[in-house]
Amino acid sequence: MNELNAKIKQVIEGEDVALFMKGTPQMVMCGNSLRALEALRSAGAPVTAVDILPDPAIRQELSALSGWPTIPQVFVRGELVGGADIVEELAESGELEQTLAEKLGPDYRDSRDEKTVAVV
């Protein structure tokens, strides 16, 4: 296993809510990444964002790990939730909040902080 692979795994497994996106929450570089971010924000999720643009290898390693071909990708406590369409749909139906409450506890909104981490 290489270092990048290990770092990506560490984020997926170690962060409550991990969002792999194009750009950062401060400077989103893709409409779908923005849709996923806004859906997570609307549910009050504590988002840890990873910008995949600095190195094409990030996306390759990530997709190999998750089996999901496109960006963005959202994970809650190590489990893939889906891409922008799924997260948006789950946010609209209220299921996203349910999942977050189940996995992170009912007070998950209190811990809300948005941060960005780098893997390269």
Partner 1 sequence: MAGMPTETLRALLVDAFPDATELAVEDRTGTGDHFQVTVASSRFQGLSLLDQHRLVNEALAAPLADGTIHELRIKTKGTA
Q: Which residues bind partner 1 (CB under 8 A)?
A: 30-32, 67-70, 80-86, 89-90
- Within 10 Å of residue 16's Cβ, how many Cβ atoms? 20
Cβ 55 to partner 1 shortest distance, Å:
16
C-beta closer to partner 1: residue 55 or 85? 85
C-beta closer to partner 1: residue 56 or 106? 56
Cβ 113 to partner 1 shortest distance, Å:
26
C-beta closer to partner 1: residue 31 or 115? 31
Q: How far is CA 58 from CA 7, 15, 52, 55, 65, in A?
A: 10, 17, 6, 6, 11
Cβ 46 to partner 1 shortest distance, Å:
21
Return the H-helix or E-strand segment holding 3.
Answer: helix 3-14
Distance CA 59, CA 47 (A): 19
